[in-house]
Structure 1
Amino acid sequence: MLLLLLLTSAFVLVPWTGAGRIIGGREVKPNSRPYMAYLKIQNGPATSTCGGFLIRPDAVLSAAHCVDKKGKGRITVILGAHNVHGRERSQQKIQVTQWVIHPKYSRDGFKNDIVLLKLKPKARINRNVQIISIPRRMERVTVGAKCKAAGWGWTSVTGNRTNVMREVELKVQNGTICELIFQKYQRQSMICVGDESGKKASYKGDSGGPLVCKQKAHGIVSHGRTRNLFPEVYTRISYFEPWIREQLKKFALQELPDSSSSD
């Protein structure tokens, strides 16, 4: 019956992407998610926001669709934040010197929706700013696992906004559910996630933020549908682990004396 309801609504709803919100969640204790990053993306007069997370002092992971239309725009990463519109001593504001979008990324179905951002200077690791581990290549989160997604943004479908970080618990779903709804869904590189009641979700504004399962970032908020909150699609980080490691090595080489920078 659930699959029938999903199918009947699949053709009238369009995917959402972008800045994201947490719906049906709760405010977290300030600085209790020290790996979280808030991205301010400026391209001319336009400014957008997304989530992200710190995986090394000089590197943040996020969703490619957050930055794919920004050209040579400016990206500022804010770490150690709880209220992103407040002046908090815990905050570190760092410029992104370059970003690397996965070479096979496509907005058509949001395939390979992942980007790595290089920070300079490096983040200062302390109580309020810390890195989070990512899974290895063959490490997969299991169906039924309860994970958490955090972010800033709208708290309802009517557009109520919040300046403080909120978090929601979501369950990893069988990929068949997402295959029925999203024609371009790929089991290897995507995770099907959601709350069957449709009352809890990440949404516009949370894009790029992590899906944390057992203290590891297993997914990246990618896309869903405008009206229905269930199911949602996250980028599967373990699938991209070799690519991530390769880019991190390049970042490290750029820090060596007399080494040239490359995009």
Structure 2
Amino acid sequence: MLLLLLLTSAFVLVPWTGAGRIIGGCEVEPHSRPYMAYLIIENGVETSFCGGFLIRPDAVLSAAHCVDKKGKLNITVILGAHNISYQEESQQRIQDTQWVIHPKYSRVGFKNDIVLLKLKEKARINEYVEMISIPMSNEYVRQGAECEVAGWGQTSMTGNRTNVMREVELKVQKEKICQKAFPKYQRQSMICVGDDYGKKSSYKGDSGGPLVCKQKAHGIVSYGRKGHLFPKIFTRISYFVPWIREQLRKFALQELPDSPSSD
């Protein structure tokens, strides 16, 4: 299921705490979410996993906390996957990925939890690999909107795992719910999301995956409270559109700043 993060009041569903699946969701039809990306993040002897999504043949969006680690990182981006336990013919594996974390990202409260990854090789767009649209900077997903989150994260809070992509339907919630649960909640740059009954959620391993509302990626799985399925915080993509556009222009001009992986 999705890589949605569950954390303590200030603890992200960091992928390295264990990849999980979506809780309360179901397996999707293979390759029906062709924009999904699976990130393998290697940091010395440690390996963690996150989700992401393709917004241009050479660019993937994900959560900054997925790559917020000390030391040299190697990131492999897998596109066109359904079952990540083996290398399907549909898969495209791209290594030597560079990335740009938002300059105002903070581990405290996971503010500006967004990263743009530049693919060394452009993705081959086909029936298994496609891009997903992102909103305009003034496009605001409203309370009550029904959205979906997909990923390969935990399917239960006890750590059950799945190798196939799963998806869960979640609703955009009243902001006051997240303002009460998360003191550092910022309405302009975050979206409050969850299942009213607390039975469905994204969880560990789903971080970085998209919140898809009406076929557009409006949010990025960011964090939640440890031991709680409701509510969850997503990074609000529309707020970061100017920054995303600026980085994409730099990608095109080959002006991407050195990433930590090239230090």
Gaps of 5+ in 2: 1-7, 259-263
In 1, are the aligned partners of 2:27 and 2:164 still within 8 Å (CA)?
Answer: yes
How many positions carry a matched residue from both structures?
247
Matched residue, 2:247: 247
Letter of the structure 1 residue corresponding to residue 105 of structure 2: Y
Q: Deviations over 1:8-34 (max 9, x none)?
A: xxxx86634222531000000000000
Give the alignment's Cα RMSD to 1 decimal.
Answer: 1.3
Q: Is the partner of 1:177 in helix, strand or coil?
A: helix
Query: Please, which runs of 5 or more residues in structure 1 have no aligned partner?
Result: 1-11, 255-259
CA apart distance, 1:191 = 0.1
Partner of 1:45: 45
The answer as to whether partners of 2:188 and 2:236 remain within 8 angstroms in 1 is yes
What CA distance in whole angstroms lies between the structure 2 residues aligned with 1:74 and 1:25? 31
The structure showing larger relative contact order (alpha-carbon pairs under 8 Å, at least 6 residues apart) is 2
Which digits, 9 at most, give the CA deviation of each residue in 1:208-232, with x for residues without a partner?
0000000000000000012110000
Q: Percent identity?
A: 74
Greater fraction of residues in strand: 1
Q: Sort the Cα spacing of 1:87 and 1:239 in 2 relative to 1 into closer, same or farther, 3 A.
A: same
Q: For each residue in 1:57-98, what CA deviation from the matched residue of structure 2 results, as whole angstroms up to 9, or x when unmatched?
A: 000000000001154310000000000012210000002431
Whole-angstrom distance in 1 between the partners of 2:144 and 2:159: 30
**8 Å Cα contact 1:192-1:234 kept in structure 2:** yes
Taking the aligned partners of 2:207 and 2:225, their CA distance within structure 1 comes to 13
The one-letter code sitting in structure 2 at the alignment partner of 1:209 is G
Partner of residue 125, structure 2: 125
Counterparts of 2:36 and 2:249, CA distance in 1: 22
The reply on whether 1:137 has 2:137 as its aligned counterpart is yes
1:113 aligns with 2:113: yes
> What residue is the counterpart of 2:58 in the other structure?
58
Distance 1:206 1:106 in 2: 20
Aligned with 1:239: secondary structure? helix
Q: Deviations over 1:78-122 (max 9, x none)?
A: 000000012210000002431000000000000000000000111
Give the TM-score normalised by structure 1. 0.91
Q: Which runs of 4+ in 1 moved over 4 A?
A: none
Does residue 222 (structure 1) correspond to residue 222 (structure 2)? The answer is yes
2:261 equivalent in structure 1: none
Instruction: Tell me the equivalent position of 1:17.
Output: 13
For the residues of structure 2 that align with 1:241 and 1:156, how far apart are their CA atoms?
33
- Tell me if structure 1 keeps the 8 A contact 2:10–2:109: no
Matched residue, 2:93:
93
Letter of the 2:50 counterpart: C
Aligned amino acid, residue 122 of structure 1 = K
Q: Distance in 1 between matches of 2:193 and 2:99?
A: 27
Residue equivalent to 1:147: 147
Larger Rg: 1
Give the TM-score, by structure 2 length: 0.91
Equivalent-residue separation in structure 2 for 1:115 and 1:72 (angstroms): 17
Does the aligned pair in 2 maintain the 1:59–1:118 contact within 8 Å? yes
Describe the superposition over 1:149-186 as per-residue Cα deviations: whole angstroms up to 9, x where unpaired: 00002101111100000000000001110000101100
| Aligned counterparts of 1:205 and 1:60: Cα–Cα separation in 2 | 17
Contact 1:77 1:96 (8 Å CA) reproduced:
no
Q: Which position in structure 2 is the counterpart of 1:73?
A: 73
| Structure 1 partner of 2:4 | none
| Aligned residues of 1:222 and 1:233 also touching (Cα < 8 A) | yes
